[in-house]
Amino acid sequence: MGETKQRIAIDMDEVIADTLDKMLERYNREYEDTITPQHLHGKKLRHVAKCGDQVSRFFDDPLFLRDLKVLPDSQDVIRELQTRYEIFIASAAMEVPASFAAKYEWLKEHFPFIPNSHIVFCGDKSIIDADYLIDDHAYQFARFRGQGILFSAPHNVEETRYPRVHNWRDVADMFLK
Amino acid sequence: MGETKQRIAIDMDEVIADTLDKMLERYNREYEDTITPQHLHGKKLRHVAKCGDQVSRFFDDPLFLRDLKVLPDSQDVIRELQTRYEIFIASAAMEVPASFAAKYEWLKEHFPFIPNSHIVFCGDKSIIDADYLIDDHAYQFARFRGQGILFSAPHNVEETRYPRVHNWRDVADMFLK
């Protein structure tokens, strides 16, 4: 039966984990700034931050990713998706190797219904063999063999090449109606 | 041009890393036993060890995987494969989450020519979108969309369903002639 289910691969950061919220909170505190998601239309934090690319050093702290908030409705919708689809979580963890353990523990805490066999840490997501990939980074869709579904984030508002979902209710509407 | 290259995904343990050698050395020392690879035809160490499944606790030590030997010729052959194929390293690291960092560091030390974008830590390798998967575990081929190539290990000698390579010279003969 598993063979006949379509597969959906789901990104972590800014799709099920609110990485941006934590980054803004940490950045604004450390640099005494007041950037909000509204300041980031079409841009990443590093493009508007006083410290530029240095914001990426937040990820060097293995604990930074450990207490991210869960994106609203993602748990309920993914649990329901599992009844009709084969679900994989696919995170580009190789960019920050120090984050492996924290990412894994976060998943086990908030998505315990995703088995280890269905967690993937990778770099280039074109290696993922799935029918759909829900991700906030359109560049991951370029060589992906299935259909990319863009999950809205401030940095990707100007991207128009892929079907877009704004939140997990949109994902439910797309896959569960 | 990258688009036109066929892809080969390559397992780590017992394919490029000599996990068995280290396991036998550690097991024989701790349990005062004298098991060799020749005792393992068709079996895993846990099937013949005095301690049974307890051998898997060796992997709980994050450092256990850090100093594994490299399988002969794997570095040279993989470097040459890269000129004609797109190469990914795909390890079932999710079985032992404590091993992520050690596996990553081992790869960076011995296979620095594999970029982060082409390293995958997963569970079920059917999620890998590649033309070939070189692995010592035939069960990983069951739902894999490409061609499984069985890399010989004592535990898999009785497996006959897949093309077999005995060592990295065999891999070179298969893919580089």
Q: DSSP character for B111?
A: -
Closest residue, chain A, to B114 (C-alpha):
A123
User: Does the distance separating the beta carbons of B88 and A97 come in below 8 Å?
Assistant: no
User: Does the distance separating the beta carbons of A100 and B121 come in below 8 Å?
Assistant: yes
Residues written for chain B: 177
CB-CB neighbours of B176 under 10 Å: 12
Q: Where are the beta strands (DSSP E) in B69-155?
A: 86-91, 119-121, 132-135, 147-151
- What stretch of H or E contains A48? helix A45-48
Q: What is the pLDDT of residue A1?
A: 45
- B contacts of A9 (beta carbons < 8 Å): 127
Q: B153-168: per-residue pLDDT in tens?
A: 999 999 999 999 999 9
Closest residue, chain A, to B87 (C-alpha):
A127
Structural domains in chain A plus CATH codes:
2-18+68-176 (3.40.50.1000), 19-60 (no CATH)
Sheet containing A164-165: order of strands: A164-165, A147-151, A132-135, A7-10, A86-91, A119-121, B119-121, B86-91, B7-10, B132-135, B147-151, B164-165
Q: What is the pLDDT of residue A3?
A: 55
Instruction: Say if residue A54's pLDDT is above 70.
Output: yes
CA atoms of A20 and A52, how far apart (whole Å)? 15
Q: A128-149: per-residue pLDDT in tens?
A: 999 999 999 999 999 999 999 9
The alpha carbon of residue A18 is apart from the nearest alpha carbon of chain B, in Å, by 23
Closest residue, chain A, to B90 (C-alpha):
A122
Q: Which of B12, B122, B126, B145 to mutate to test the interface with A (most CBs of A within 10 A)?
A: B122
State yes or no: is A11 an active-site residue. Answer: yes
User: Does the distance separating the beta carbons of B95 and A97 come in below 8 Å?
Assistant: no
The alpha carbon of residue A34 is apart from the nearest alpha carbon of chain B, in Å, by 34
Collect all residues with Cβ–Cβ distance below 8 Å to A158 and sequence separation of at least 6: A41, A42
CB-CB neighbours of A16 under 10 Å: 26
Give residue B1's pLDDT band: very low, low, confident or very high (50, 70, 90).
very low
Out of A9, A116, A143, whose CB is closest to B94?
Answer: A116
The burial of A53, by beta-carbon neighbours within 10 Å (0-12 exposed, 13-18 middle, 19 or more buried), is given as exposed
Listed residue (A67, A142, A163, A53) closest to A106, CA to CA: A67
Listed residue (B40, B52, B50, B45) closest to B23, CA to CA: B45
CA atoms of B111 and B81, how far apart (whole Å)? 13
For chains A and B, count residue pairs whose Cβ atoms are closer than 8 Å. Answer: 86
Q: What is the pLDDT of residue A86?
A: 98
Structure tokens at B49: 């060890």
